[in-house]
Structure 1
Amino acid sequence: MKFMHLADLHIGKNVNSYELIEDQSYILDEILNISDSNNVNVIVISGDIYDKKQPSEKAVSLFDNFLTKCSTKGKTVIAISGNHDSDERLNFGSRIFSNNNLYITGLYSGEVPFVELEDEYGPIYFHMLPFIKASLVKSYYPEEFEDEETNSYQKAVDVALKHPGLDYKARNVLLAHQFVAGSTDPLLSDSEDATADVGTVEKIGTNIFDAFDYVALGHIHIPQQVGRENIRYSGSPLCYSASEITREKSVPIVEIKEKGDVSIELIALKPLRKMRKIKGELSNLISAARALDPHERSDEFGKNGPLEDYIFATLTDEDEVPNSYDKLKDIYPRLMSLTFENSRTKALAKAEISDISTDKSFVDLMSDFYKQILGTEIDEEDFDCLKEVAKEAGIINEAD
């Protein structure tokens, strides 16, 4: 049995106010092309299909289009909900979908359902464990949680997995959307830290997955194995933060022959637009951008070329450059952020604020602060601007 492992699609996600629906549509088509070229007829999706519990019309339409294409091509899709998904919405129509080889489990109802498929080696079972909380499992099996010390995610998942009635001699695959750690914690990215979702989920050890030939995990956006090779986060198919730029996105294709005979191939994903970091003085960045071939298709850039990529820029100019954001955005229309790194910002990062008396007037207080941080006097234009902001904030009144 050969299948493809996806997770954390986050359809409908915006990054730094940029809508990524076109990029997501492109990468889903790319994924389908990879499945065709590798003779993959089963696709598993381990949660966080959508980015929000109430996805936009565009997001729902895109996922519907993806499922329709899968069905037309005769592919089986097996999916579970993640913590970003609405379990009720994903569960809607699931019994009808199953008639078209689309199996979706959004709600945990005391049992872990499975899909039985068949190949030349016999049956193979895909067990579907959506995102759960310990309290939900406890509501179905209170007797398992009489010892309060065992009231944890580790215990909850362990209890949940006891109740499908696993055939340990058969080939078993598990879809799960939880925070699983091996001897070390998995690598995280800013797109998880920003939501604080990962930090609120207790760790689950890998030892409770011994019955499974492969564990298809969702929840972490960086592709990686956990503990052993066949317990794996597929990662998100696209970068959703600057911290993921150096991590190549891929899709695992898993082949299971006889029991215990598992092979995994990671196929790199080429996005429509990459996320990139650039750094330097503004004039040099502009010159370098103008020298680029806008139709370049190298691995360094996305399929749409270097000038269409999402850019995180850092300027190192010592002197202030007026309208620097607008000047750079004229060349890179998808400029995601602009930061500054020079002697002043470095001094500011290292500065310790001390000996500034709060008894002083606003004018003297701000003058002292400016001098201590930047080592120079504040000029009249900057100070007038600062006073206007302070007035709007109600810190000082019009008479000051």
Structure 2
Amino acid sequence: MRVLHTSDWHLGRTFHGVELLDDQRRALAHLAGIVADEAVDVVVVAGDVYDRSVPPADAVRVYDDGLAAIAAAGARIVITSGNHDSPTRLGAGSSFAAAGGLHLRTTVADLDRPVSLSDEFGEVLIYGIPYLEPDSVRTELGVDAARGHAAVLGAAMDRVRADLGDRVARGHAVRSLVAAHAFVVGGVAAGSERSISVGGVETVSAATFAGVDYVALGHLHSPQRLTETVRYSGSLLPYSFGERTHRKSVSIVDLGADGVTEVRAVELPTVRGLSSLTGTLDDLLADDSFAHAEEDYIEATLTDVTRPIDAMRRLRERFPYAVHVQWDRPHVGDRLDYRSRVAGRNDADIIASFVADVRDDPTAGERRLVEAALRAVVGEPEADGSGEWMLFDVGSLADSA
């Protein structure tokens, strides 16, 4: 039997305010193409199908179309819920859906009720463990004292192993797979995941899942292998600029007569690249070395001495998918603490420095306006005998505080 392991679709997610549903629709079409090309028997989705518990209607349509394409490519589908999903909404109609080849596992009651499939070697059991929030499920799992994820997942796997043991005792020759949404020790977060810890320890050991042939994990967004048979497939798309170097993929798991015979990654085609660009606005708009990124999602760090006006609009003339701009004005000299920076300087100088930091150097006229405003605030200062006005010294006040 050939299994495709995927997870973390996050349908309905936005990227710096940009809607991603078109990209996600294309990615699911690519996934269906892999199902057809690889003659996959079953697709296992290890949680976070949606990006929020109440997904927008357009995201539900993309989900529905994606499932239809996968089914048309010849695979049955097993889905469990992640921390972003609503188990109740995702699991609605599960009994009816199973008749059409879509098996939903979103409740504690169903985690030891496997999807049973068959091939020429016999039975393959696929268990789906949904995301388990310790405070919500510990009583149902019989571990009332549990505060972290290790205890509740351990209890869940005890139920899975008990069901497997009963079947073996009855003479069944079975191979098994568990789909779970969890943060397993040794995995590396990509930065776009939402923490699953609420008042408890979120990580669990890979040893928690001992006793099954393959563990299909979801939650972490980069593909990674914890052991030969305990793996994260990673997310469908990159969901942060920290993931711009990731090669998104799915895992193909081949099961023979005695268990797993091969696990390999199959890359998903890039829907739209991500690029982080740095330079002055004029350089970014004119330099040919940035031509490769013109169709990518762009985060730009501008290094102009003066903050450019209307930078995003101008960037989008060349980079239509620019989504984030920040200004990093070049600084000269070392950075000092505030007390050191204001010591010996009067109000007018401190304000002028602030204006220069956030914009550019104030003009002579602007400095005169600042000094007039300061005199109005602190009262007309006394002359020092030289004909110069003595402005109130913030640095001296800081030293005496």
Q: TM-score range by the shorter chain?
A: 0.7 to 0.9
How many angstroms apart in 2 are the aligned matches of 1:382 and 1:181? 58
**Shift of residue 64, structure 1, vs aligned partner:** 0.9
| Counterpart position of 2:327 | 340
Matched to 1:251, the amino acid is V
How many angstroms apart in 2 are the aligned matches of 1:37 and 1:369? 61
Q: Which moved more, 1:323-332 or 1:120-129?
A: 323-332
Of 152, 157, 166, the residue aligned with 2:153 is 157
How many angstroms apart in 1 are the aligned matches of 2:355 and 2:273? 39
**Shift of residue 290, structure 1, vs aligned partner:** 9.2
**Shift of residue 278, structure 1, vs aligned partner:** 2.0
Q: Does 1:129 align with 2:129?
A: yes
**Unpaired stretches in structure 1, ≥5 consecutive residues:** 293-300, 387-395
SS at match of 2:155: helix
Q: Percent identity?
A: 28
How many angstroms apart in 1 are the aligned matches of 2:77 and 2:110? 23
For residues 44-77 of structure 1, what are the alpha-carbon distances to aligned partners after superposition, in whole Å with 9 as ceiling and x for unaligned? Answer: 0000000011100100011011122233333200
| Counterpart position of 1:203 | 203
| Counterpart position of 1:214 | 214
| Counterpart position of 1:296 | none
> CA 1:364–1:77 in structure 2 vs 1: closer, same or farther (change >3 Å)?
same
| Counterpart position of 2:247 | 248
> CA 1:377–1:321 in structure 2 vs 1: closer, same or farther (change >3 Å)?
closer
For residues 127-151 of structure 1, what are the alpha-carbon distances to aligned partners after superposition, in whole Å with 9 as ceiling and x for unaligned? Answer: 0100012234421243x44xx4x54
SS at match of 1:109: helix
Matched to 1:76, the amino acid is R
The two structures have a TM-score, normalised by structure 2, of 0.81
For residues 329-383 of structure 1, what are the alpha-carbon distances to aligned partners after superposition, in whole Å with 9 as ceiling and x for unaligned? Answer: 1111110112234522x868x442215779x998675346557x69x96447888
Alignment of 1:1-400 (within 5 A): 1-109=1-109, 111-142=111-142, 144-145=143-144, 148=145, 151-164=147-160, 165-167=163-165, 170-182=174-186, 186-192=187-193, 195-197=194-196, 202-226=202-226, 228-288=227-287, 292=291, 306-344=293-331, 350-355=335-340, 366-367=351-352, 369=354, 378-379=362-363
> CA 1:382–1:322 in structure 2 vs 1: closer, same or farther (change >3 Å)?
farther
Q: Size of the alignment, in residue pairs?
A: 361
**Unpaired stretches in structure 2, ≥5 consecutive residues:** 371-376, 378-401
SS at match of 1:343: coil
SS at match of 1:139: coil
> CA 1:380–1:203 in structure 2 vs 1: closer, same or farther (change >3 Å)?
farther
The two structures have a TM-score, normalised by structure 1, of 0.81
Q: Which has the larger radius of gyration?
A: 2
Tell me how large the CA RMSD over aligned residues is. Answer: 3.2
How many angstroms apart in 2 are the aligned matches of 1:353 and 1:196? 35
SS at match of 2:217: strand
How many angstroms apart in 1 are the aligned matches of 2:34 and 2:12? 22
**Shift of residue 269, structure 1, vs aligned partner:** 1.3
How many angstroms apart in 1 are the aligned matches of 2:355 and 2:311? 23
How many angstroms apart in 1 are the aligned matches of 2:99 and 2:251? 26
How many angstroms apart in 2 are the aligned matches of 1:207 and 1:74? 34
**Shift of residue 42, structure 1, vs aligned partner:** 0.8
How many angstroms apart in 1 are the aligned matches of 2:314 and 2:58? 32
| Counterpart position of 1:297 | none
